[in-house]
Chain A
Amino acid sequence: MRLLLVEDTPDLARAVQEFLRGEGHAVDHAATLDEAGAAMAVAEYACVILDLGLPDGSGLTLLRNRRGAGDRTPVLIATARDQISDRIAGLDAGADDYVVKPFDLRELSARIRAHARRGQGAPANRLAVAGLEVDRAGAKVWRAGEELRLTAREWSLFEALLGARGRILSKPALEEALYAFDDTIEGNAVEVYVSRLRQKLGPGVIETRRGLGYMIA
């Protein structure tokens, strides 16, 4: 895979490049925003590893610009900024992942692979279902680019239905998904959460098979 490493610390950049090349990737290096912007404009990368504190500005600027231009290349932020506000800002700007320095190179590589696969159309965890885009690893759902926020119980039920896509799941089977949260489940809990899911996901996503259960076609 072809990767772009945007990092202004030469020794760290060299070590990461060397490691990733050893993993079989082709790695371009940019030490500034300008270099990174120029590289992204001419080449297609499977994943970009982006530092935030660069000599000519913040990596977030580049990320926002690329996302604004419709570039969906997976971006993994690798930075020394460890505060949650920085992380939220990075994810809000369109980053796919956020790693704080110092990091384990093998873990970095694993994350790059996961995001690169998604970007290259091998979406093991990324699905398109009934007009929805679903990220199973990240427990996220979008409709027309807008994220739909599901609660943990709603996601748990939705994921169970998603895992059995095309098959009917009985009410007891769906109750299993909710047992992770409560030892005792109310008799109508499944109906309640299916109703809430329908309100959030829209009509036609979850079908009721009377007397049998529910399914996502």
Chain B
Amino acid sequence: MSASRPRWSLVGRLTRHVLATVAAGWIATMGLALWALTHEMNEMFDEEMEKVAEVTALLLDSAEHGHGRDAIPRALGLSPDDGEQMMRIYPEHGTPPLAPWPAMAEDGFAEAEGWRVYRQTADEAVIEIGHSRAWRREEVLEAGSAFVVLLLPLLALVVLLARRVVLGALRPVGAFADQVGARRPDDLSALPDAGLPREMQPLAQALNLYLDRIAALRVAERHFVANAAHELRTPLATARAQLELGGSAAAPAAIATLDTLTQRVERLLQLARTEAGLGQHRGETDLLRVLPLIVEEVARQTGVKARLDDGDLTALPLRADADALAILLRNLLENAVQHGTGEVRLRLEPAGVLSISNAVAEGAAFRPAPFERREGSGGMGLGLFIAETLARDLGLVPEWRIEAGRATVRLDFAALRP
């Protein structure tokens, strides 16, 4: 036997895949959003630097006409302590400071030693405004983090919703699987495909084709067995009747051989019917219609007395095929007659338990193995095998017991009561 593979769930797998796809999309979106945010914030910061520079230039200009050029400091740190933003103003022809960024050659934006710098020359003064790149990154990350933090509860909601959506989408699959799983093995009727999603229609149609084929095969098998029984029994009857009429000295032996042949053919046909799933078919059958007929027939054929106690029941309806029940009961009864001694007692309890018992010789045992010949038996060893197979197909569990010189088989029909 191969090691059993761990079971996996379609819902679990789909949920994981959907979430992985959503997460990948979300991460990609976040990356793009961060890039766009960085771009937009840099533009905003750049615009701010330009405006500050222009305002400063205006201030310098008004200072020249007002309190004098020397009133304006020539170097100014907007936030000199944390080193995030810096402004420096120096004479156009003076020596520019070399820190925190080196001297700039011309006006406009430039990148230098971890700073984004805007330089503007106005009224013989140079105004330089610098933003630390690290500060700008930090600002973008802070904005991005807020974005992520806000989205996290949404992600949890997405997990929940994805599971619900997947469950909902797969409900027809689950319902279809339940419907198939709940069917009895003998139910070969078509599966309804109405209401199934388009993707599942081919599955239902393929299954229905398969069921049709099995049903057709089973019908053909049953017809074949029924026809074979008919076609074999009639010539056997003719041959037997002609032998009886002939009255030759060899006739009795030939008739006995013919009867043995008939019995074997009958057993093989019973086996064929059993293997064709006869026991799985369910119909309405009254056990008390079938049982007395079988008891009377076996008693007449074998000459062994069989006493039926019907437990004061006049009817015991069962959900079972009448022919399957009859073959089961006949084989049990014939086995009792063949391998036991004396009267066979059949007792049906009102609860629906049937026991078949008779006396047996010491060392007797039930041997339900097919084609296993027993000493002193002329049979093929099929009777109990057929009985056991039919009982299983009918959903019965026979109890085989040999105690105090009596063999008993008990069948509890409770499971077949409608």
Contacts and interface: CB of A to CB of B under 8 A. Distances in A.
B244 A152 contact: no
B389 interface: no
Contacts of B241: 12, 15-16, 19, 102, 105
A180 B307 contact: yes
Interface string B85-115: 0000000000000000000000000000000
A101 B293 contact: no
Interface string A101-124: 111111000000000000000000
Interface stretch (B38-46, B119-127, B232-240): B232-240
Given A104-B244, A152-B309, A84 B323 contact: yes
Interface in A1-27: 9, 11-12, 15-16, 18-19
Contacts, number: 91
Contacts of B302: none
Interface in B308-342: 308-315, 322-323, 325-326
A24 to B, nearest CB: 15
B230 A15 contact: no
B258 A150 contact: no
A158 to B, nearest CB: 13
Contacts of B290: 84, 88
Contacts of B312: 151-154
A81 B293 CA distance: 15
Interface residues of A, number: 31
Given A12-B234, A150-B314, A80 B242 contact: no
How many B residues are at the interface, by size bracket? 35 or more
A42 B315 CA distance: 40
Given A15-B242, A16-B241, A105-B244, A80 B322 contact: no
Interface in B217-252: 226, 229-234, 236-242, 244-245
Given A12-B234, A87-B293, A105-B241, A82 B266 contact: yes
A19 B293 contact: no
A15 B243 CA distance: 9
B318 to A, nearest CB: 13
Contacts of B322: 83-85, 88
A213 interface: no
A151 B244 contact: no
Nearest to B300: A107
A3 B231 CA distance: 26
Contacts of B237: 9, 12, 80, 101-103
Given A80-B230, A82-B229, A149-B314, A9 B238 contact: yes
B406 to A, nearest CB: 14
Contacts of B231: 80
Contact of A101 (B236, B307, B310, B315): B236
Contacts of B22: none
A101 B233 contact: yes
A151 B310 CA distance: 6
B314 A12 contact: no
A110 B307 CA distance: 23
A19 B245 contact: yes
Interface in A109-154: 149-154
Interface of A: 9, 11-12, 15-16, 18-19, 53, 80-85, 87-88, 100-106, 149-154, 180-181
6 contacts: A12-B241, A84-B294, A84-B326, A88-B290, A101-B237, A151-B313
Given A80-B229, A102-B241, A151-B313, 19 more contacts: A12-B234, A15-B241, A15-B242, A15-B244, A15-B245, A16-B241, A80-B230, A80-B232, A80-B234, A84-B290, A84-B323, A84-B325, A104-B244, A105-B241, A149-B314, A150-B314, A152-B312, A153-B310, A153-B312
The 10 closest A-B pairs by CB, nearest first: A84-B326, A15-B241, A102-B237, A101-B237, A80-B233, A149-B314, A12-B238, A102-B240, A80-B230, A101-B233
